A = this chain, B = another copy of it.
Amino acid sequence: MKIKDVAKKAGVHASVVSRVLNHDATLKIKKETRERILATVKELGYVPNHAARNLKKNETKMIGMIIPDFSNPVYSSIIHGAETMAAQEGYTLLVYSKKHIAKNNSYFSHLVDGKIDGLLIATLELDGQDLKELAELDKPFILVNRSIEGFNNYVVLDDEHAGYIAADHLIELGHTNIAHITGPFETGTGLKRYNGFKNRLDNANITIKPEYIRKGTYSLLSGYEEMNQLLTLPEPPTAVFTANILISLGAMRAAQEKGFVIPDDISIIGIHDVAFAPVLNPALTTINMPLYEMGEAAVQKIIENIQAKRPNSEVKGLMIKGGELILRESTSAHKPK
């Protein structure tokens, strides 16, 4: 089934069919011809061949997206938003995890060989060298949930605000011995959440004990280990802000293994309101972040850049506002002994 078959059946030349399919009503085609062609297309179930169209137009209507790991629930929201927006705009999202890519010769082969029109980078692990290589390709890319010195083509969330309101919640509950298991500071999100946290504590004139700030790695294990460290301190904190959902899970587990009751002995507040947060025991108090919206925005932005042929260096950074407290059971008022 190709365009010639449609043309023959509709009694016109293939190029006419192509025009009807590629241009809107402003193009001068006799109304009845257009209708006959469209009817024939529908009848035969004709769909333009993707490869041929790509070759001719030098665009694929595909957008790539690199994530670290499909099993991280945070990324499912971003992917979902991105996928939905892509579909809405007539694009297809091609998601691959870091692990996959590493097997190929180049991280960016899809971009080089014309498989995709642009790339969303939502992984933390590309180093400066990789990004430099990427920038030299002169193809649109957007950093998602990540910002790096020297690049303004990013979409991020208001992580500083998130850290701020997490700390605010704990302070309002009367806590003063407040700890924070952070994300890695190189990631931007980790540093900004910490800064927001620190700002709120400073505003309340609460001195942050250095031993209460534990640098984590956004992993289950790191949450577990750092929480263990905190709970073996001479004076353990009464509240902990955990910088992402995996840290939260690891931290909860560590506390419970040590016999600490959440929230009676220790309050925990996390970031990212994933689907299972409400069914944890206890249900986790979190800051809900607009991950879905960030996915949508990233796709919207890259499509815009693709279509406007805007060089990456001229793209402006975008911060999606939002983040709100979802109060559940893992935090409660401080009870002085």
Binding site for B on A (CB under 8 A): 45, 47-52, 54-55, 60, 69-71, 73, 75-77, 79-80, 83-84, 86-88, 92-97, 99-100, 103-104, 106, 109-110, 112-115, 220, 224, 249-250, 252-253, 256, 274-276, 278-281, 283
Is B103 touching A71 in the complex (CB atoms < 8 A)? no
Separation of A296 and B93 alpha carbons in the complex (Å):
22
Is A76 touching B71 in the complex (CB atoms < 8 A)? yes
Is B51 touching A114 in the complex (CB atoms < 8 A)? yes
Separation of A86 and B114 alpha carbons in the complex (Å):
19
List 19 A–B pairs whose Cβ atoms lie within 8 Å, in order of A's numbering: A47-B112, A47-B113, A51-B51, A51-B60, A55-B55, A70-B70, A70-B75, A70-B80, A71-B73, A71-B76, A71-B80, A71-B274, A83-B96, A92-B94, A95-B95, A224-B279, A253-B279, A253-B283, A256-B281
Within 8 Å CB of A250, what residues of B? 279
Is A71 touching B77 in the complex (CB atoms < 8 A)? yes
Within 8 Å CB of A79, what residues of B? 70
Is B275 touching A252 in the complex (CB atoms < 8 A)? no
Is B100 touching A84 in the complex (CB atoms < 8 A)? yes
